Amino acid sequence: MMRIVTIKFRTAGKHYDFNARDFELKTGDRVIVETDRGRALGSVVSDPVEYDPKDEKREFKSVLRLATEEDLQMAVTNSAREETAFRYCRSKISERQMEMKLVKAEYLFDGSKIIFYFTADGRVDFRELVKDLAHHFHTRIEMRQIGVRDEAKLIGGIGICGQ
């Protein structure tokens, strides 16, 4: 039997299923998991449930460990760094007079990459902006264009109209 636990990464975000392995997890626990983008800090949404691997055809990534104080502190540090990165990027966008609206800056858990989410009416050539950001932050930069509905989700909007 396989134990599956549901995890969320944001307050109003989507829920994902992970292999709980042998960890004794309960709702509210903070855990480190392996995702497609690397390691991430998440919160347990519901207690683990037993599944027969024959019934479940999809592959599950695993819970690596319970979060330590260092992990929680790193999350707080990354949150502060995201604010700084957001302000710096927004100033560079206005400096270059680019037709885009910066929505959010997100550091990966290990700090190896910063993802900047933005909205724009059309395509935007942000190559020079990425060079500025990479030079300033000394890390990998990813720019991701999103729609207005995604923007509402990212900033915590709820309801059918994103209010």
State mean pLDDT over 49-74. Answer: 87
State mean pLDDT over 47-65. Answer: 84
Q: Are residues 58 and 81 in the same domain?
A: no
Phi/psi at 134 (5° precision): -65, -40
Q: Are residues 88 and 146 in the same domain?
A: yes
Q: Are residues 80 and 127 in the same domain?
A: yes
Q: Are residues 42 and 97 in the same domain?
A: no
Q: Are residues 46 and 6 in the same domain?
A: yes
Residue with more model confidence, 161 or 23: 23
Owning domain of residue 150: 73-154
Q: Is the pLDDT of residue 16 over 80?
A: yes
Residue with more model confidence, 55 or 100: 100
Number of domains in the chain: 2
Q: What is the mean pLDDT of the chain?
A: 89
Q: Are residues 13 and 54 in the same domain?
A: yes
Buried b / exposed e along 62-87 (16+ C-beta atoms within 10 A) = ebeeebeeebeebeeebeeebeebbe
Instruction: Give the Cα separation of 111 and 136 in Å (integer).
Output: 14
CB 76, CB 86: distance < 8 Å: no
Ranges assigned E (strand) in 52-155: 63-66, 101-107, 113-119, 140-145
Q: Is the pLDDT of residue 132 over 50?
A: yes
pLDDT at 95: 96
Share of the chain above pLDDT 70, in %: 93
pTM of the full structure: 0.80
Q: Are residues 106 and 52 in the same domain?
A: no
Instruction: Please list, in sequence order, all residues whose beta carbon lies within 8 angstroms of the beta carbon of residue 44, skipping any fewer than 6 positions away.
Output: 5, 6, 7, 25, 26, 27, 28, 29, 30, 31
Q: Are residues 58 and 79 in the same domain?
A: no
Give the domain-ending residue among 27, 44, 67: 67
Give the domain-ending residue among 67, 84, 107: 67
Q: Are residues 53 and 78 in the same domain?
A: no
Give the domain-ending residue among 67, 83, 112: 67
CATH number for the domain spanning 109: value is: 3.30.300
Please count the residues of the chain: 163
Residue 31 lies in a domain: yes
Q: Which residue has the tokens 């100033």?
A: 91
pLDDT category, 12, cuts 50, 70, 90? low
Residue 163 lies in a domain: no
pLDDT at 93: 96
Q: Are residues 53 and 18 in the same domain?
A: yes
Q: Are residues 98 and 116 in the same domain?
A: yes
pLDDT category, 162, cuts 50, 70, 90? very low
Instruction: Give the Cα separation of 18 and 56 in Å (integer).
Output: 12
Q: Are residues 144 and 82 in the same domain?
A: yes
State mean pLDDT over 124-131. Answer: 95
